[in-house]
Amino acid sequence: MTPGPDLQQLINTIKADAGSDDELEQLAAAAATVNELTTTSDQALGFFVDRARGAGKSWVEISAVLGVTKQAAHKRFADSWTSRPGFKRYTPRTQAVVEAAKEVARSRNHAFIGTEHLLLAFFSQPEALATKALLAHNITEDSVSAAVDEKSPAGPDSNADAAADLLDAENPPYTRRTAHVLQGAVNEALTLGHNYVGTEHLLLAFYRDSLGVATQILVEQGLDEQAAWAGLRALLEEATK
């Protein structure tokens, strides 16, 4: 295994970054460096956990490799993605989509946030790259809503209060597939070398699970992963220009 920097190398790097002999300024530089290392390490570990899950490895197998309990592994890498460091890299527009998914679920009397709710939430941000890619392929809010009605019908009115209570909780009840997409978006960004997580990464993350409701709808409406890549690439190039 390639060794990382030793303690002295890290100290020298921090002193150089501080650019000062003042102890407090060096301490501030050290704190920022350690925080960045922790965040990056967590994202890197999450990237490989996500790959293992995508390859069909169980939480029991993953927890054994990590040397923690199954419950600890699941809590760290499957639950409450919005409280993890990677979520801080979500752009405001992407965070708005995730937040809007709660309202979509609530409007359908669902006490959970599924991938279908995330997909519908894209249309709350018409200027988002993912939304533009969808509309460019004639995938509209109406067409997606109709497909969701068929695959995940709205719950009865009796579910409304329970849904509101759960969706207003500090940690909304994301389904496992939705949690997988939220983390997958971070990994898509890392793979592309981006230091932010945009709606385009969220859209690409849907394709990590072919059985997700959102993925099924996208493919059925003519947007497979290759087409999504092509559309997003064109929009990114246009944005760069």
Cβ of 31: how many Cβ atoms within 10 Å?
Answer: 11
Q: Which residues of the chain have pLDDT under 50?
A: 80
Cβ of 173: how many Cβ atoms within 10 Å?
Answer: 17
Name beta bridge partners: 113.
174
pLDDT digits (tens, 9 = 90+) for 117-154: 999 999 999 999 999 999 999 999 999 999 999 998 88
* Contact between residue 32 and residue 18 where contact means Cβ atoms under 8 Å apart: no
57, amino acid identity = K
Query: Residue 160: what pLDDT?
Result: 62
Cβ of 124: how many Cβ atoms within 10 Å?
Answer: 17
Residue 156's Cβ-count burial label (10 Å; 0-12, 13-18, 19+) is: exposed
CATH topology of domain 87-240: Double Clp-N motif (1.10.1780)
Query: Residue 80: what pLDDT?
Result: 47
Separation between Cα atoms, residue 49 and residue 53, nearest integer Å: 6
Q: State how far Cα 18 lies from the chain centre.
A: 33
Query: Residue 24: what pLDDT?
Result: 86
**In the chain, where the domains are located:** 7-78, 87-240
Instruction: Write down the pTM of the prediction.
Output: 0.65
